[in-house]
Amino acid sequence: MSNGALPRHPPVLAPCDAGAVGPDGREDRYRRHRAWLLKVAFSLTGVGAYAALIEPQWPQVTHREIYLTRLPAAWDGLRVAHLTDFHFGDLQPAAIIARGIDLAVAEAPDIALLTGDFVSRHCHLGTEALAALRRLTHLPLGAWGVLGNHDRSVGGDYVAAAVASAGVRVLRNEAHILERASSGSGLCLAGMDWPRFSLHHLSPSGWRRWEARLRASLHAALGCSGPETCCVLLAHAPDVFPLVVEAGVDLALAGHTHGGQICLPGIGPLRVPVRMGRRYVAGLFRMGATQMYVSRGIGVVGLPMRFLCRPEVAVLTLRRGG
């Protein structure tokens, strides 16, 4: 073949959108699969980085109006910052968790209601965590809270005392009547102490015993609530919802689920550690005259990441009406 002459069989050129080809022009499946695996690896690396570094630090402010038939006219328009599942501890710096608190304060609510798990197991509340909680106590009606299962595991008395030292009023199977000057109508704010919890309680036999303890805590918490008084109940987990409905509570606030914390498209939460499963994983629910709001929380537990389940700062405006 002379110089400059074209070869009799020119090489096969693959179009730019085709798979990898070998020297003979045939599709190279090994190279194609390797490229696919590399793409998956890079995608997973990106997803993992997002889930670990971005989403847990990206709290979302949720605004909802909740209509309560028995809400006194004087309390119409009450703005509530509902925060839960802080999990101050070793998985996230306190400064990251405090961002959610700062967002809540910036919304200028009337009151902060906190539904437990201030700490993670084997952890304690440091000065930075207490300083962040203290910022909530400067709201017009202050900050009120209950304990969660992690708080009870660390030591309920210790966590309650630490949180109280920051100025948060901890309700342990008790209620308080909030009054507004010259209104003549109070609003009952009740809080139930969450019994110590383990996965055994999700079994049928364990649940029957644990439900009896829940019922006793709820009965004690509502002891001073009159039958005609509008009542807002703080409870750590949504498993209490059927009992709350029986008791005639107007609104319950809960957390514990983290919204699933890690969710997949088309599948949803990978795991929800409550007996009710995914039924009450997050959001506003109604059963009869009772409503319940379940927040996704602002901290993490188990894994230091969130995916398709951003931390939540819920700002709830209570309205009078059906």
Residue partners of 41: CB distance under 8 A and separation at least 6: none
pLDDT at 44: 72
pLDDT at 203: 62
- Closest of 89, 101, 87, 108 to residue 132, by C-alpha: 101
Residue 239 and residue 218 in contact, taking contact as beta carbons nearer than 8 Å: no
Torsion sign across C-alpha atoms 267, 268, 271, 276: negative
pLDDT at 18: 38
Q: What angle do CA 261, 264, 269 make, to 5 degrees?
A: 45
Q: How many CB atoms lie within 10 A of CB 166?
A: 18
Residue 269 and residue 259 in contact, taking contact as beta carbons nearer than 8 Å: yes
Question: What is the model's pTM?
Answer: 0.84
Residue 97 and residue 312 in contact, taking contact as beta carbons nearer than 8 Å: no
Tokens of 24: 């003979």
How far apart (Å, rounded) are the C-alpha atoms in residues 59 and 215? 33
Compute the radius of gyration of the chain from its Cα atoms: 26
Question: Element (H or E) spanning 297, and its range?
Answer: none
Instruction: Give residue-wise pLDDT tens across range 37-77.
Output: 655 665 678 888 898 889 999 999 999 999 999 999 999 99
Residue in the block written with tokens 């969130």: 306
Residue partners of 214: CB distance under 8 A and separation at least 6: 192, 195, 239, 240, 243
- Closest of 34, 132, 33, 128 to residue 83, by C-alpha: 132
Question: Element (H or E) spanning 169, and its range?
Answer: strand 169-170
How far apart (Å, rounded) are the C-alpha atoms in residues 130 and 86? 12
The H-assigned helical ranges of the chain are 29-49, 94-106, 127-134, 149-165, 204-221, 241-247
pLDDT at 93: 87
pLDDT at 91: 83
Which residues of the chain are under the pLDDT cut of 50? 2, 6, 10-28
Tokens of 298: 């602002």
Question: Element (H or E) spanning 311, and its range?
Answer: none
How far apart (Å, rounded) are the C-alpha atoms in residues 180 and 248? 23
pLDDT at 84: 98
Torsion sign across C-alpha atoms 125, 129, 134, 136: negative
